[in-house]
Amino acid sequence: MNEVSNAVEFVGFKPDERLLTEDLDKLPAALGRPETIVPSRTRGRIVGTGATLTAVSLVVGVLLAALGAIEAISSGIDLAAILALVLGGLLIATHWGWVHVAELTANSLEGHSNAEVLERRQRWLAAIEPYSRLEVSTEVQDDGSIAICTTRHHPVQVGQDGFTFARELCKRELHSADEPAAAVTDRAETLRREAAAVNEEERRRYEIAADAYDAALIGRADEEQRRLARRAASEALSHQINSNLRDPPLVE
């Protein structure tokens, strides 16, 4: 359980918005979850109206185009036929626009009504730090046995300087239903304490690197400055590790 990520690798990266949505289940439970956005009461009516207008636009557009074609065939191409064809074609080509307008309107209303919640969600997202975390959980199997699972949640890069998380199963211990409950509980707690120690060490290493990075990154954050700041972070972490090797900290 001593496998950890490079504490310097994601220093200076920002959490990606997908951690609020599709990647939320990849975060360890210890980070909690953001507040839920309350849907607007008028959203359903607005979206329904948009869908109705979409259907009406399509039907009217088809009818106008058909009438224009009939008029052109029966009486020749005149202004009325041209107008019907053009207007019908325009309605057919743009009928889906009502759906998008309705969706944008509903999103805008929800954004205004949930402004404080959205702000707190962004603060929660910004507080996530990109270092690996271990999590221990238990699962009851169909035969009554208990599996103790150790899962690793580690950051992965998104875009140029963003990150999300991925999770992988590191270890899975299966304990039979006949095994004493106290023994299974003790084993689970032992693994949880070991995971907590690994997480704390990874957090400490990341913060050492992040502090050095922030101190070195002055002014405009161009690529060269980022490279130099990342080197400073690596040097600070290396110095800390070497200091511990020369004079190991006391442990209980």
What angle do the packed helices 79-94 and 43-75 form, to 10 degrees? Answer: 150
In order of 38, 41, 104, 115, 117, the CA distances from 111 in angstroms are 10, 13, 10, 6, 9
Running DSSP on this structure, what letter comes out for residue 7? Answer: T
Q: Residue 75's pLDDT is what?
A: 74
Closest by Cα among 43, 42, 51, 61 to 97: 51
Of the listed ranges 57-61, 97-101, 131-135, 247-251, the one predicted with least confidence: 247-251
What would the pLDDT profile of 140-183 be if each residue is shown by its tens digit? 998 889 999 999 999 999 988 899 999 999 999 999 988 998 99
pTM for the model stands at 0.63
Q: Residue 218's pLDDT is what?
A: 58
What would the pLDDT profile of 19-42 be if each residue is shown by its tens digit? 999 999 999 999 999 988 776 667
pLDDT at 117 over 80: yes
* Residues near 77 by beta carbon (within 8 Å), at least 6 away in sequence: none
What would the pLDDT profile of 36-90 be if each residue is shown by its tens digit? 877 666 766 777 777 887 888 888 888 888 887 887 777 777 777 788 778 878 8
* Strand arrangement of the beta sheet that strand 146-158 belongs to: 14-15, 162-175, 146-158, 133-140
Both tokens of residue 162? 């963003």
116 in Cβ contact with 45 (< 8 Å):
no
